Structure 1
Amino acid sequence: MVSTTVLRFLLILVASYLFGLLFYYVLDREEKLHKKKRIDEIISLTIHIILCIWIGKIIVNFQVFIKDPFAILAYPSDRRALYIALILVSIYTVYETFKKKRPFRPIWNAFIPVLLGTLFMYELLQLIVEKNTYYFYYIIIYTILLLLYILLERYPYQLHIVIYSWFSLQIICSYYLGSVRLFQYIVSPIFIGLLCVLYSCFILLEKKYSEG
């Protein structure tokens, strides 16, 4: 039977994700059919990320999975599973972009505001439900990022500024809090730095590929 804590967490996660989708849908200036298509692609990408996290969890707990595959359901995902998932998603993104010549950037451009809206609402609901002021710092971070996203709507480098601001604010926050939190995962500041490098490399590769 699902515990109350797990059920509450899932409800918060779903409500936050729906808010993220709504945030994108309201702010995007494209036609409704275009937005609906993007939302379908975002949901597909989200499912892909969740599957990669599950693959990561299986890899991390491989011995348990071999002995009892169903026992893996009781194991929570940790940051190692998240790291593996992000590696798999990165490989998938590179493959789709450069090998299959699929314009993947439009999907990510739509996914970023959904992610920001989801993270903001997740932290807000955690603060309200858990009544822990620790979440307040992250609410400030995501409020700043959402405002940046809205104010720079017509600026050509909007997403780059927002993403690099997120990297910077997370590293600054880790200096004061001692760690970085991404949903329920506690990750290393070094990991945030590596994400920044990975994102920069992807931009350079995409630019070089489009020019070539």
Structure 2
Amino acid sequence: MVITSAIVSIGIIIACFAVGLISFYPLSDWPKAEKKRHIEALTSQLLNFVIFVWVGKILLNPSLFIQDPMAVLAYPGNSGAFYLATLFTAIIVVYKSVYKNLDVLAFVEVFVHVFLVASFFYEFMQLVLGNHSYSLGYLIVLATLLVVFVSARGRLPMPRLLMTILVGWTAGMLVLTFVQPFATVFGYIIEPWFIGLFFIGCLLIVFVSKRKRDA
């Protein structure tokens, strides 16, 4: 029963990200080949993230993994595994930016679009199908950010727009952590300290990428 529930949860997340990836095509004015290239780059990193979540679960539960590997790999990980996966993914993105000529600003633009759309649909399904009342606050934050992102694209320089979305998401999540018992991202409980570190990390990545592009 628990395994079935875990499979359903994973399936919902995959479906939501598929919607986010598909929605990028009609809403972006990039050439088709460029869209395809950046979507493939993001998909690759999303797969890496899933692998890193598994790695995180193993690192956080080494003794249990030795005794019963499926007990670790088959069940959803805790927030610690999510934090480690985020850290490992950020390191990979920075590495590819420095040594593989990854256009981080373009990558982040695609990621923000897909993340906002996927998160919105996920929280909507949690609210409607799962009757999770705490999803409503985050749903409002995501809806606001989506409207801003879509309406301001092409009107504001992309670095400024990305910073606006980052600040808005960070502020919204911090407010939710104080007015609700907890705030989650795709079912993982997010602590205020992680939100702060995530904001600082993204800020540095966007700033350095902008300077590299302008150089």
Same fold (TM over 0.5): yes
Q: How do residues 118-137 of structure 1 correspond to structure 2 at under 5 angstroms?
A: 118-137=118-137
State the TM-score, normalized to the length of structure 2: 0.89
Q: What is the match of residue 37 of structure 1? A: 37
Which amino acid counterpart does residue 66 of structure 1 have in structure 2? Answer: I
Question: Counterparts of 1:196 and 1:37 in 2: how far apart (Å)?
Answer: 26
Give the deviation of 1:141 after TM superposition: 0.8
Q: Is the 8 A contact 1:120 1:143 kept in 2?
A: yes
Consecutive unaligned residues of structure 2, counting only runs of 5 or more, are none
State the TM-score, normalized to the length of structure 1: 0.90
Q: What is the match of residue 195 of structure 2? A: 192
Consecutive unaligned residues of structure 1, counting only runs of 5 or more, are none
Give the deviation of 1:25 after TM superposition: 1.6
Q: Is the 8 A contact 1:109 1:159 kept in 2?
A: yes
Question: Counterparts of 1:209 and 1:11 in 2: how far apart (Å)?
Answer: 38
Question: Counterparts of 2:103 and 2:31 in 1: how far apart (Å)?
Answer: 19
- Relative to structure 1, is the Cα distance of residues 3 and 72 closer, same or farther in structure 2, using a 3 angstrom cutoff? closer
Percent of aligned pairs sharing the same letter: 28
Question: Counterparts of 1:63 and 1:3 in 2: how far apart (Å)?
Answer: 21
Question: Counterparts of 2:209 and 2:42 in 1: how far apart (Å)?
Answer: 20
Q: Is the 8 A contact 2:183 2:189 kept in 1?
A: yes
Q: What is the match of residue 102 of structure 1? A: 102
Q: How do residues 40-55 of structure 1 correspond to structure 2 at under 5 angstroms?
A: 40-55=40-55
Q: Is the 8 A contact 1:120 1:139 kept in 2?
A: yes
The structure 1 segments of at least 4 consecutive aligned residues displaced by more than 6 Å after TM superposition are: none
Cα deviation digits, residues 45-89 of structure 1 (max 9, x gap): 110111111111110111122334344224420110011111111
Q: Is the 8 A contact 1:52 1:84 kept in 2?
A: yes
Which amino acid counterpart does residue 183 of structure 1 have in structure 2? Answer: F
Question: Counterparts of 1:46 and 1:111 in 2: how far apart (Å)?
Answer: 10
Once structures 1 and 2 are overlaid, which stretch shifts more, 61-70 or 126-135? 61-70
Once structures 1 and 2 are overlaid, which stretch shifts more, 131-140 or 108-117? 131-140
Question: Counterparts of 2:44 and 2:38 in 1: how far apart (Å)?
Answer: 10
- The number of equivalent residue pairs is 212
Q: CA RMSD in A?
A: 2.0
Q: Is the 8 A contact 1:180 1:186 kept in 2?
A: yes
Q: What is the match of residue 202 of structure 1? A: 205
Cα deviation digits, residues 125-184 of structure 1 (max 9, x gap): 111111232211111111001001011111102121112111111111212113221111
